[in-house]
Amino acid sequence: MLVNCGSDDSDGGNDATGGGGGYHINSFSIEGSYPSSSGQIVPINSGVNNGQFTVSWKTSANDLYQVRLRLHDNDVLPEEESRLPMIYQNNCNMGNLGQDDVCGSNVVRTCQFTNDNTVLCGTRKTNITRFLDQIPKRAYMILKICGGGLSYDDCDTASVAVELQ
């Protein structure tokens, strides 16, 4: 099941808060462990397809940007977002800084949800046992990208509904 959310109301997206510069999420989607019967909530099951799921996004960023992917009960990040499980984090560049970590503006990451409630995404390994107050659990994966120089204060977010099984 592939669910896709844009970052502004003009393209049917939801839950995006944009900054004033060039750091916008053009699309954010998750392909779950298997096709969804509901069509709107992406199933991520640790017992199906080795718990693998795919996260992808497109951004209008044209320079260095930070990306974070968090889990939350709601589709909007709270002020205290640092308390939420972060399942992916990266400083991405567009290849113009000579660094090894070139994410680009079109990104696809394969992640895995394991039977011990761990999410592996990129090089990050996050135990989400405390977040899972029940299984299955409906939640949101929220993507946040930020740019704007050293302060990284030009941000955009988008969310996708998931069910952790």
First to last CA, the chain: 15
The CATH code of the domain at 2-164 is: 2.60.40
pLDDT along the chain (165 residues), means of 10: 38 37 86 83 96 93 84 92 92 59 78 97 93 96 84 86 97
pLDDT score for 52: 97
pLDDT score for 149: 64
Pairing of strands 124-127, 52-59: unpaired
Task: Return the SS3 of 11.
Answer: helix
In DSSP notation, 27-82 reads EEEEE-SS--SSSSSEEE-TTSGGGEEEEEEEE---S-EEEEEEEESSSS--TTGG
Q: Is the entire prediction scored with pTM above 0.95?
A: no
DSSP assigned state of 85:
P
Closest CA to 118 of 106, 132, 107: 132
Strands lying side by side in the sheet with 106-113: 2-5, 25-31, 52-59, 106-113, 118-121, 124-127
pLDDT score for 148: 65
* Number of Cβ atoms within 10 Å of the Cβ of 81: 15
